[in-house]
Chain A
Amino acid sequence: MSSSIPSSTGFSTDDPPPARGRLQLFLGYAAGVGKTYRMLEEAQQLKRQGKEIVIGYFEPHGRKDTIARTVGLEMVPTKTINYRGVSLQEMDTAAIRMRRPTICVVDELAHTNVPGSERSKRWEDVQALLDAGIDVMTNMNIQHLESLNDQIFHITGVRVRETVPDWFVKSADEVVMVDATTGALLNRLRRGDIYAPDKAQRAMENFFKESTLGALRELALRQTAHELELREITETPEVTEGLPSTSTPSEREIHDRILIYVTADPSSAMLIRRGRRMADYLGADCFAVSVSSRQDGRRPAGEGIDAVETHLNFARTLHIETRSVEGDDPAEAIIDFARRNRVTQILLGRPKYRSWSRLLGTDLILRIVQKAKDIRVIIVAARRQQQQRP
C-alpha cells in the first residue's frame, strides 16, 4: 500500500507538492450539542461513498451513542506522552501523515497539547495535516474563537484560555453549525449524557444556564452565517455582482483601513480582537501600531515595553500587520501614520476606570480626536461583566 511509504513516492515526480487539504469545521455552542456525533455521521457517509477516511483523534467522553458512530472507521493510535508522572494521549500527527488517508477526523480543535508535544496547539497539528494534503474534518465550540473572547467573557463570566485564531477558522473551506435546542442540551446534561454527575452539577451552575446557552447559541448561529457570507464573497465574486447584498455599494467602494493603537494597557488585547472582527466584517486592511519615544534611555524599560511587545505579538497571531513608530507625542505619531497610510478608522482603548493611566490616556484620546477630524475614531470601552443573576 502506498500509504506505508513515508516519502513522497505516493505522488508522481511531475506533480507539484500536494495541494493543501480541505478543512471542514463543525461549529457548536457548548459541550454536548452533538458536534462529534454529527462529524462521525458525516465520516460514515463518506466512507460508504468509498473515501479513505481515518480517525486521527477521538474523545469518547464515555458517550455511548457517539462511540457507536466510530464503528468501522479506522483509528490511528494516539501517542502517549508522559508529563509529570501522568501519561496523556495526544494525536499522533506524524503517524497520520505517514498513513496519508484522504480524509482525517480530528476531534476538539481548540485543545492545547501537553507540554513537550511537537506543536503546542491541536489546530497547529491540523495545519500540518492540511499541509500534507490531507482533508480534515474537525470541530470546536464558538467560545474558542479568539476574537470572540471578550464577548464570551461578558456572556459567561468565564475567560476561555484555549482559543483558535480567526484566520485559521476563516481558512476552513466549510463551516457547519451543529445546532440543538438549549432545552435538549440541558436535558442531556441532567441525564448525565454529557458529564459525570458532579461535573454536571458544577456545569449547571456556571456555563449551562438557559440564558447563557441561548446567548451562545445565537452567537454561533450568527457566526456561521457570517462565515458563509465571507466565503461567498471570496469564492463567487462574479455571481455576487448585481445581486442585492447586505452592504451598500458605498461601503464596498470605500476601502476601509483600520488602525489599532496598541499600548501597554491591558485593554489593548480587547482592542485587537475588536479590530480583527471589524476588519473581517468590512473586508478592511488592519494595522496594529505602537508608539515609542525617541529618547529610549529615559523610558521606563521592562514591564511597559514587554506588554506592548506582547500585544503586538498577539496582533500578529491574529494576522494583523504590526508597526512600531517613533515619536515623542503619541497623538502626533498616530495621526501622522494614519494620514500617510490613508487610514479611515482609528481604534483607541479607553483605559480602565481609576487606573493611573486614566487621566493621561483620556487626554491623549481627546487630542487624537481633535486632530483627526476627517477620520472615524472609535473609543472602545471595557464593557462591564453583565449581571448574571436575577
Chain B
Amino acid sequence: MANHSTQRPTPEQLLAQIELEERRARRGRLKVFLGYAGGVGKSFQMLDEGRRRRQRGEDVVVCALQPEYPPEVQAILQKLEMVPMVKSGGMESIDVPAVIRRHPQVALIDGLAYENPPGNPNAHRWQDVEQLLDAGISVVATVNLQYLEKLQDEVERITGTRASSAIPRGFLDGSADEIVVVDAPAPESGLREAPPGDRASLLAEKHKLSRLRELALLVAASVVDRQLENYVRSHGMDQLWRVQERILVCVSPRSNTAHMLDSARRNADRFQGELHVAYVQERSLSDQDRAILERKLDHARELGAQVDMLSGFDTADAILKFAREKGITQIFVGHSTRHGMQKRVWGNLVDRLIRSAEGIDVVVYPQ
C-alpha cells in the first residue's frame, strides 16, 4: 500500500511539542475570551472571572481597561486592584515594568489588539502580554474576532471592512493555552428591545453579526478539536474519538466521482472530518481510463482529500482493510454498473462492502 499519508507526528514535531511544553511550564498561562463583536459581554465575563479568582485567593490585578463601561462592569471593577495605565499622546498603554514589579499571579487585560503609542518599547499590546507571560505572570485577556490575522480575510468577506491592527497568527496558536468563546445574541436582539431603524438595514446588520458569531463558534470548536487531538495523542490513546467523521470515497475510472466528492467534502467540513479518496489498482487499465482516473484524483486533491492508491487482488478486501486502518466512519461508493469477470468471481463490490463493513456506514451513490 503505497503513498501513506499518516497523521502520526514526526520526531521533529514531537521535539517541538516538548520544547513548547517546557517553555509553557515556566511561563504564565494565557487565557483568551473571544468575542464576535463589541457589546457582547466579553469584558464582563473576563473581569467577573477575575473577581471570582480573587475571591478564591488568587492575586489578581487589572492592567488594561477600555475607556468606558456599563454599570454592571464598573461594579466588578470596584472589587479589583488596578495597575494604572500610562497615558501618552492621548493613548493609553500597559505599564509593563510596573506590572512586572507588582508581579501578580494573574493580570487582566481587556482588549488584546491595541497598538501602543509611538515611543513605547513594544509597538503592539500583544507584545506586552508576551513579556508578562515570559515573566511568569498569567494573563486573562479579551479579543474580538476581527483582530485575529488568521481570520481577517473571512471577517472582511462578511463585514466588508478590515481592522487596522491584527494579532499575528503565531501568537494565539503558540501562546494561548485556553480559549473561551463569549457567545451572546447580537447586542440589540434576544429578548431585548429592537433598536429603531429601518427593517432592511437591521436585518442586514443582524445577518452580519450572525455570521461573525458562527465564525467565532467554529474557530473555538477547531481549537478544542486540536487540543483534544493533542490530549488523546499525549495520553497514548490509540483511538481518536473526536467529534469527527472520516469519509472514504472509492474511485474508479468509470465511477461518477464528482457528485460523491462534493457531497463528501461538505459532510467532512460540517463535522470537522477527514476526507480520504482511494483507488484500487487494476492490472489492465487503458490509457484513456488512466487519464480519466488521473483527472478524478486531481480533483480530489484540489478538494483537500488525502488520496491513496491501494493494491490488492480483491478490491473489497483492500478497501475494507484500508478503512479499518484509518478509522473510516463512512464509505462512499457508486452503485455498481458493471457485469465483468470480477463480479462473477467476487460478487459485486457494493454487496461485498455492505456485507462486511461492520461498524462503518456505506453510502451508495447513483451513477
Residues of A at the B interface (CB closer than 8 Å) are 22, 24, 41-42, 44-46, 48-49, 51, 65, 103, 135, 137, 151, 154-155, 173-174, 176-181, 183-184, 191, 210-211, 214-215, 217-219, 221-222, 224-225, 228-229, 231-232, 235-236, 238-240, 244, 246-248, 250-251, 281, 350, 353, 362, 365-366, 369, 372-384, 386-390
Contacts and interface: CB of A to CB of B under 8 A. Distances in A.
Contacts of B337: 373
Q: Which 7 A-B pairs have the closest CB atoms?
A: A221-B221, A177-B183, A225-B217, A214-B228, A386-B241, A387-B239, A181-B178
16 contacts: A22-B191, A24-B185, A24-B191, A137-B191, A174-B185, A174-B189, A176-B184, A178-B183, A179-B181, A218-B225, A228-B217, A236-B206, A239-B204, A353-B358, A378-B361, A386-B239
Interface stretch (B60-68, B107-115, B309-317, B347-355): B347-355
Nearest to B232: A211
Contacts of B218: 221-222, 225
Contacts of A388: 241
Interface stretch (B83-91, B117-125, B264-272, B285-293): B264-272
B268 to A, nearest CB: 12
Interface stretch (B20-28, B141-149, B167-175, B207-215): B207-215
B359 A214 contact: no
A142 to B, nearest CB: 10
Interface of B: 31, 44, 52, 56, 71-72, 157, 178-185, 189-193, 203-204, 206-207, 210-211, 213-214, 217-218, 220-221, 224-225, 227-228, 231-232, 235-239, 241-243, 262, 266, 269-272, 329, 335, 337, 350-351, 354-355, 357-367
A374 B252 CA distance: 18
B235 to A, nearest CB: 5
B164 to A, nearest CB: 24
A222 B237 CA distance: 24
B363 A377 contact: yes
Contact of B228 (A45, A103, A215, A379): A215
Chain B CB within 10 Å, residue with most, of A24, A154, A179, A251? A179
Is the contact region of chain B dominated by helix, strand, or loop, or is it mixed? mixed
A370 to B, nearest CB: 8
A34 B20 CA distance: 31
A161 to B, nearest CB: 22
Given A179-B180, A236-B203, A388-B241, 11 more contacts: A44-B72, A49-B192, A211-B231, A215-B242, A219-B243, A221-B220, A228-B210, A236-B207, A373-B335, A381-B357, A384-B359
A376 B364 contact: yes
B221 A218 contact: yes
Given A137-B191, A180-B180, A381-B360, A214 B224 contact: yes
Contacts of A225: 213-214, 217-218, 221
Contacts of B266: 246-248, 251
A353 B362 CA distance: 16
A189 to B, nearest CB: 14
A65 B359 contact: no
A379 B330 CA distance: 9
